[in-house]
Amino acid sequence: MPSADQPAEWVRAAVDPAAFTAEQQALGRVWTFLCLDGEVAQDGQWFRTDLGGRSVFIQRFGDRLRGFENVCAHRFHPIRRERSGKGAMVCAFHHWRYNAEGQALGIPVCDEAYGCLPKQLNAHLKPIEVEAFAGLVFGRFPDPEGETLADFLGDAAPMLAALCPPGSTFTRFGGEVPANWKFLTHVTLDDYHIVAVHPSTFGANGYLKAKEVTYARFGRHSAYTTEPGDDPLAGVLADCRAGTYRARDYLIVNLFPTFGASQFHTIDLLGRSYYSVMVLRYAPLAHDRSRLEGWLIDGPIAPPRPGLLGVFDRFAQKMIARIVPFFARRVLAEDNAVCEGQQSVARQITEDQRLSPAFEKRIGWFEETYAAEVSAARETAPSQPPM
């Protein structure tokens, strides 16, 4: 049991920088969603994010995706400073240039500065493993004995393929939040707060009825829907596997540790229901600071109808793509404010959470997975240099 004057174990990494560092070293070897494939669709495109408490970037080289830690092998300046871009891997400090394998082969006046050829220096960026599935890019620190991405995703894979197809047009949003990533992840798994925190949107119709929601756990991941039926998620999964799934209700898929995809209804127009999908990740930056990385894409609805209705369908989806981000940012700002409040008193959290079995069970599942993953990774992972 937690002591009266010490933070509870589940919140320790939110108050102790050393605990946060150890936690992130452990979780860095878990497959982690990093960005949509559309961020790195063209040759030379790159996207910078964080993995396991370290700055990393993903870049496309022809038909290959490569990932590296964002630190020059010379004097340890970041290769990438912006969130995304396109171009060669060149350090702005001394113009060291790297090839697709991460080796420094363009070193100014190398013979005079070092007395050898660039290849003889054998200087490399540190690689990370990256792999794309559907419209999503995942990464982890190298782990030759680790599970494949397919094994990691398990039964979540068909749903991800339906909700996040390759090449989706997207609107990106985000920003830093002064709160630990776990508080922010917990709120995405909490269906009890909607009236108190989102009274004019998700909570406008009052509290959910326990009989109207369905949760499912598959491995380290979970899903939630308000679709009716005895086992609606089984039906969703079957349709996704068959490639016939069409959005018809609220659906959320969460992957451990930080991924969430939420399908939600936006509007009904001229006999058609329109849906959007919001993809979220809270990248851990420090024990008390995270970065929200979010993307909005069209939901899996039927193709545009023929004739004038099809013209209207395409126009409606463009307008929805412009309007929905406003509401998404508003809802997320409400969630973020709650998490900032939790962070402000995190040192006073000395007990376990009193989770509702009806509406907060997914938080409990997440914490079980978190404890198991951190414990297992700490036992098997080789030591890393201090961050």
- In the chain (387 residues long), the average pLDDT of successive 10-residue segments reads 72 96 95 97 97 97 97 97 96 96 95 92 96 97 94 96 93 96 97 95 90 93 92 94 93 97 93 93 97 94 88 90 91 97 96 95 97 79 50
Confidence (pLDDT) at 202:
86
- Give the HSE-up count for residue 198: Cα atoms under 13 Å, Cβ half-sphere: 24
Domain at 32-146, CATH class = mainly beta
pLDDT on residue 229: 87
Residues 367, 309: Cα–Cα separation, whole Å: 47
**What CATH architecture is 151-375?**
Alpha-Beta Complex (3.90)
The CA-based angle 33-36-40, given to 5 degrees, is 115
Residue 203 pLDDT: 87
Instruction: Provide the pLDDT for residue 380.
Output: 65
d(CA 71, CA 100): 15
> What's the residue count for the chain?
387
| Beta strand 251-255 pairing with 97-98 | unpaired
Kindly compute the dihedral angle of the four CA atoms of residues 374, 380, 383, 386, in this order, to the nearest 10 degrees: -10
**Span 178-195, pLDDT tens digits:** 999 999 999 999 999 999
The per-residue pLDDT for 387 is 46
pTM of the model: 0.92
CB neighbour list of residue 363: distance below 8 Å, 6 or more residues apart: 186, 189, 190, 353, 355
CA 335, 341, 343, 347 dihedral sign is: negative
- d(CA 56, CA 58) in angstroms, rounded, equals 7
How many of the other CB atoms lie within 10 Å of CB of 42?
9
Strands 214-218 and 136-140: unpaired
CA R_g for the chain: 22
Q: To 10 degrees, what angle do helices 181-188 and 361-380 make? A: 140
Residue 67 burial by CB count (10 A; 0-12/13-18/19+): exposed, middle or buried? Answer: buried
Measured between alpha carbons, how far is 309 from 16 in angstroms, rounded to an integer? 57
CA 131 to chain centre: 14
Six-digit token pair at 26? 């452990």
Calculated CA dihedral for residues 230, 231, 235, 238, nearest 10 degrees: -140
The residue type found at 256 is F
* Beta strands 136-140; 127-133: pairing state: antiparallel
Alpha helix (H) ranges present in the chain?
17-27, 110-114, 118-121, 149-153, 156-163, 181-188, 194-197, 232-242, 307-344, 361-380
Q: Tokens 């998620």 label which residue? A: 233
Domain boundaries, the chain: 32-146, 151-375
Which amino acid belongs to residue 185? Answer: T
What is the layout of strands, in order, in the sheet containing 104-106? 89-90, 97-98, 104-106
Lookup result for tokens 């397919």 = 150
By the 8 A CB rule, do 262 and 277 touch? yes
